[in-house]
């Protein structure tokens, strides 16, 4: 048995919004990218700290945020997650147990 805690629907205490990208060819052939809301969902939010990275004169300590939520096919196209006023770009989507029960979204916070 692994040391990982099994997640249940009752653990999902964060209300998030999921967005997908929509690309539209506009006047003059210019491409416009906009975010379209896929829906809202309850999720578990966890952080994962990575090895320090040297960036010139300073060191960064990257952190990714993992959102786990109920499996829904329409969420597979999500490219951004919003939690309150915070926004996260989706880096990858994973079905951790290959049972189509939960989805894990590995993300990086958008810093503006």
Q: What CATH number corresponds to the domain at position 104?
A: 2.40.10.270
Contact 50, 64 (CB under 8 A): yes
In a domain, 52, yes or no: yes
Percent above pLDDT 70 for the chain? 89
SS3 66: strand
Contacts of 90 (CB under 8 A, 6+ apart): 78, 79, 80, 81, 105, 106, 107
CA distances from 70 to 3, 41, 106 (A): 21, 8, 15
In a domain, 70, yes or no: yes
- The total domain count for the chain is 1
In a domain, 4, yes or no: no
Domain hosting residue 52, numbered range:
11-109
- Per-residue pLDDT reduced to its tens digit, 64-88: 899 999 888 899 999 999 999 999 9
The neighbouring-strand residues paired with 101 are none
Question: Interior CA angle at 100 toward 97 and 106, to 5°?
Answer: 65
Percent above pLDDT 90 for the chain? 43
In a domain, 5, yes or no: no
**Tokens at 59, concatenated:** 């060191």
In a domain, 41, yes or no: yes
Report the predicted TM-score, pTM, of the whole model to 2 decimal places. 0.76
In a domain, 26, yes or no: yes
Mean pLDDT of the chain: 85
């Amino acid at each position: 048995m692994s040391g990982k805690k099994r997640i249940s629907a009752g653990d999902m205490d964060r209300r998030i919004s999921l967005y997908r990208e929509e690309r539209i060819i506009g006047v003059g052939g210019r491409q416009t990218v906009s975010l379209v809301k896929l829906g809202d969902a309850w999720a578990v939010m966890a952080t994962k700290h990575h090895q320090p990275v040297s960036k010139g004169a300073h060191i960064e300590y990257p952190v990714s945020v993992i959102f786990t939520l109920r499996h829904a096919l329409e969420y597979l196209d999500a490219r951004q997650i919003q939690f309150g006023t915070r926004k996260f770009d989706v880096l990858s989507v994973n079905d951790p147990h290959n049972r189509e029960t939960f989805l894990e979204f590995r993300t990086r916070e958008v810093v503006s």
